């Protein structure tokens, strides 16, 4: 064998009816879960409701599968708070909006909930106005466990190395900062 370890994070889409998402997740839950690391929620968080998706996250938790959620990219800290409080998310994809509310930042820090930050997509999708406005440094300074991600590599013409270069150039991270991001990724992995 190659020695590589892998896993999947099936993603719910709030663009679809909650019943369709639940049916799709039931198919996942009915199979071998050895390679299912978590369930996720993608897309804009403004359409999430506990009534619609809370039971799916609860079922996953009952099977020992943690939840992650795409929150706080375009929306504010309230999306991150909702994902943590209502879905018990153990990791947040993006999370940059958390910086709008110190109590949400504290939640992330106190519960050691990592945020997977994707600088290229944040700028391309106007979640931040420009490279200089990206809150990556502020998130690290606040004690949030930040990892780097690529979001949608083909759409944004990026890869993980490019994101590290952006952290170096746009966010003016030094080698210690880059090392910390790398260590955070290892510490936050779900494998």
Q: Confidence band (pLDDT; 50, 70, 90) for 1? A: low
* DSSP symbol at 3: -
- For the question of whether the overall pTM of this predicted structure is more than 0.85, the answer is yes
CATH architecture of the domain with range 11-188: Alpha-Beta Barrel (3.20)
Q: What share of the chain is helix, strand, coil (3-state, %, to 5)?
A: 50, 15, 35
Q: What is the mean pLDDT of residues 117-129?
A: 93
Catalytic positions are 73
pLDDT, tens digit (0-9, with 9 covering 90-100), for 151-174: 888 888 899 999 999 999 988 889
Residue 162 token pair: 């490019």
Least trusted range by pLDDT, from 40-44, 69-73, 98-102, 123-127: 40-44
- In this structure, are residues 50 and 86 in contact, taking their beta carbons and an 8 Å threshold? yes
Residues with Cβ within 8 Å of 104's Cβ and at least 6 positions away in sequence, in order, are 77, 80, 81, 84, 98
Say yes or no to pLDDT of 13 above 90: no
pLDDT attached to residue 15: 84
Look up tokens 């944004």; give the residue. Answer: 156
- Percentage, residues of the chain above pLDDT 90: 75
Q: What is the pLDDT of the chain when averaged over all its residues?
A: 92
């Amino acid at each position: 064998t190659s020695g590589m370890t892998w896993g999947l994070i099936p993603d719910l889409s709030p663009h679809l009816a909650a019943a369709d998402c639940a049916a799709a997740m039931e198919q996942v839950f009915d199979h071998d879960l050895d390679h299912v690391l978590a369930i996720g929620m993608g897309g804009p968080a403004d359409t999430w409701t506990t009534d619609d998706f809370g039971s799916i996250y609860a079922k996953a938790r009952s099977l020992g599968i943690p939840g992650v959620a795409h929150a706080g990219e375009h929306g504010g800290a309230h999306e991150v708070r909702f994902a943590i409080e209502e879905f018990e998310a153990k990791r947040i994809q993006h999370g940059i909006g958390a910086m709008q509310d110190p109590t949400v930042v504290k939640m992330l820090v106190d519960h050691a909930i990592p945020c997977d930050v994707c600088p290229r997509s944040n700028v391309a999708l106007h979640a931040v106005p420009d490279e200089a406005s990206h809150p990556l440094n502020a998130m690290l300074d606040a004690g949030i466990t930040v990892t780097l991600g690529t979001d949608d590599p083909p759409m944004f013409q990026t890869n993980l190395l490019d994101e590290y270069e952006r952290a170096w150039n746009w966010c003016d991270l030094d080698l210690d900062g880059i090392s910390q991001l790398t260590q955070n990724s290892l510490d936050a992995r779900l494998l």
